[in-house]
């Protein structure tokens, strides 16, 4: 009978394994070096000591990351709970009761009183109450013959491993958010500097227009227009100043610090883009991306739960033992030692369809986990491809923006020289000055966009650092 049951389980298991198929493409990405992704933390490639410090601080203090760690502790506790049915159980049970002596029926107290041989009557009257109780040591073990409980416990442990993958994915997100926030601070500072520079240029230009007007070279319209242009730049200054403050506050939140308190941040500029990292192949994403590692762990956990559901259809076996004492005190204490050893076998016959329904649900959950994992994998491949394409476009955009900014600077200097020498007109100069400001902001924005594209690429690639970062984090 046992051989037949095991054969049926093996056949069902073989059919079940054929259903589990995670995607893994053999192709390479459309661009980039196909070597394995670097094992060092991605932000180190920027060579920015302040960025290194900020990310390390964030990994230690960020509250969303701490919450992800708490969820791991919850999952690990649940894994131990799932393991407990496989372990022996033991308890000490004590009972003590005081009961009245019955007046009619089975007079237990009367039987306990000795008879006087001379009279043939009880030698004393029966007490009103008596006591009785017991003290037992109980032990039991549910024998996991078919591995049903083991598979359930293993599934819980895999779900805890998936929670670790979720935490590591959160670490990637937090590191990217901090890098973006730091670069946003630097961008806002640079935009403020450009705005202040433009303000100074407009003040100097107003002096020139004022002088030309006083010398009869310029017109009052030129003077009024320049005053208007100066006022327009002055209105941009408070907005630029507030933007710096807002970006620093956002960075403080990511660092787990009070945004009401100013951060002590050094003066710095946006870094140049490092060389392109190695991107590996699509198939390597299963190991380098923690969210995919979590998906794979959940697939295996669903497989284990399906195994457990299938083996729950088989008989269960349990053993138990008890030893201890029972006692009774009517006129004097009397005790008796007792012990028992036993075993139970339960064969499920009719369960109202619950076992079949549980197995059907477990099969569906396995299929759902596989489909979710495969979808996450394809999305990850798409994210890498999109990040590579965006970086290429952003690099071209930055190159063009810098050429435009240089041309705008040269155009402004030429127009200013001609105006001072009396060969140009103010309308043209004002337009060139506005284009100069816009070109500087455009180049700054293009630089920031390129850095953001690189950060997004690192997010999409993951990296081996996600498996070791907790070793250097308290």
Whether 290 contacts 466, CB under 8 Å: yes
Q: List the Cα angle 316/317/323 in 5-degree steps.
A: 145
- Segment-wise mean pLDDT, segments of 10 residues, the chain, 474 residues: 44 47 78 80 93 94 92 89 85 90 58 64 66 92 87 91 93 95 95 91 84 78 83 89 94 93 87 91 91 94 92 89 88 84 88 86 93 94 94 95 93 84 76 89 95 95 86 64
Taking only Cα atoms into account, the Rg of the chain, rounded to an integer number of angstroms, comes to 40
pLDDT for the residue numbered 15: 44
Is residue 391 in some structural domain?
A: yes
Structure token digits, residue 155:
């599934």
Alpha-carbon distance of 106 to 104, in angstroms, equals 6
Q: What is the CATH number of the domain that holds 307?
A: 1.20.1600.10
- Where do the H-state alpha helices sit in 129-219? 148-214
pLDDT for the residue numbered 321: 94
pLDDT for the residue numbered 348: 86
- Burial-class residue 415 by CB neighbours within 10 Å (0-12, 13-18, 19+): buried
Is residue 120 in some structural domain?
A: no
Alpha-carbon distance of 58 to 50, in angstroms, equals 12
Is residue 8 in some structural domain?
A: no
pLDDT for the residue numbered 473: 63
Alpha-carbon distance of 77 to 28, in angstroms, equals 41
Whether 182 contacts 270, CB under 8 Å: no
Is residue 436 in some structural domain?
A: yes
Structure token digits, residue 136:
């037992």
Is residue 9 in some structural domain?
A: no
At which residue do the structure tokens 């100074």 appear?
200
pLDDT for the residue numbered 6: 45
pLDDT for the residue numbered 5: 43
Side-chain-side CA neighbours of residue 167 (13 Å): 25
Q: How many CB atoms lie under 10 A from the CB of residue 123?
A: 11
Is residue 35 in some structural domain?
A: yes
Q: Which domain holds residue 370?
A: 22-115+127-472
pLDDT for the residue numbered 4: 43
Structural element, H or E, at residue 367? helix 354-420
C-alpha torsion sign, points 76, 78, 79, 81? positive
Phi, psi of 403 (to 5 degrees): -60, -45
Structure token digits, residue 289:
């991306």
Is residue 206 in some structural domain?
A: yes
The pTM of this model reads: 0.82
pLDDT for the residue numbered 453: 96
Is residue 1 in some structural domain?
A: no
Count of domains observed in the chain:
1
Alpha-carbon distance of 155 to 161, in angstroms, equals 10
Alpha-carbon distance of 374 to 365, in angstroms, equals 14
């Amino acid at each position: 009978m046992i051989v037949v049951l095991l054969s049926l389980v093996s056949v069902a298991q073989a059919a079940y394994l054929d259903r589990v198929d995670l995607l893994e493409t053999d192709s390479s990405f459309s661009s980039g070096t196909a070597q394995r992704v670097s094992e060092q933390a991605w932000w180190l490639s920027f060579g920015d000591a302040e960025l290194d410090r900020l990310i390390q601080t964030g990994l230690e203090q960020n509250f969303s990351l701490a919450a992800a760690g708490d969820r791991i502790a919850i999952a690990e506790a649940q894994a131990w709970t799932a393991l407990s049915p496989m372990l022996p159980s033991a308890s000490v049970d004590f009972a003590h009761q005081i009961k009245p002596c019955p007046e009619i029926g089975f007079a237990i107290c009367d039987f306990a009183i000795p008879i006087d041989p001379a009279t043939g009557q009880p030698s004393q009257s029966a007490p009103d109450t008596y006591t009785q109780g017991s003290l037992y040591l109980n032990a039991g073990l549910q024998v996991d013959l078919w591995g049903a409980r083991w598979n359930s416990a293993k599934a819980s442990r895999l779900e805890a491993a998936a929670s670790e993958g979720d935490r590591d994915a959160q670490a990637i997100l937090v590191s990217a958010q901090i890098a973006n926030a730091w670069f946003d601070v630097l961008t806002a500072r640079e935009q403020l500097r450009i705005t202040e520079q433009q303000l100074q240029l407009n003040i100097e230009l107003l002096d020139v227009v004022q002088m030309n007007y006083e010398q009869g070279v310029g017109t009052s319209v030129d003077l009024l227009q320049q005053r208007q242009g100066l006022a327009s730049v002055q209105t941009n200054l408070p907005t630029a100043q507030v933007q710096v403050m807002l970006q620093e506050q956002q960075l403080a939140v990511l660092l787990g610090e009070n945004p009401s308190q100013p951060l002590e941040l050094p003066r710095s500029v946006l870094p140049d883009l490092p060389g392109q990292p190695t991107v590996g192949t699509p198939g390597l994403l299963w190991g380098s991306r923690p969210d995919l590692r979590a998906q794979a762990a959940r697939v295996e956990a669903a497989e284990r739960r399906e195994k457990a559901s299938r083996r729950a259809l088989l008989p269960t076996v349990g053993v138990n033992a008890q030893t201890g004492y029972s006692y009774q005190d009517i006129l004097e204490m009397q005790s008796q030692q007792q012990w028992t050893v036993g075993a139970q076998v339960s064969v499920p016959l009719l369960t109202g369809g619950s076992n079949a329904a549980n197995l059907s649900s477990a099969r569906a959950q396995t299929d759902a986990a596989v489909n979710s994992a495969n979808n996450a994998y394809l999305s990850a491949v798409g994210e890498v491809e999109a990040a590579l394409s965006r970086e290429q476009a952003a690099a071209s955009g930055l190159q063009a923006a810098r050429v435009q900014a240089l041309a705008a600077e040269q155009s402004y200097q030429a127009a200013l020289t001609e105006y001072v020498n009396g060969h140009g007109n103010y309308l043209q100069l004002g337009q060139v000055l506005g284009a100069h400001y816009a070109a500087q902001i455009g180049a700054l924005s293009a630089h920031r966009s390129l850095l953001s594209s690189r950060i997004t690429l690192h997010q999409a690639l993951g990296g081996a650092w996600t498996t070791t970062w907790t070793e250097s984090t308290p």
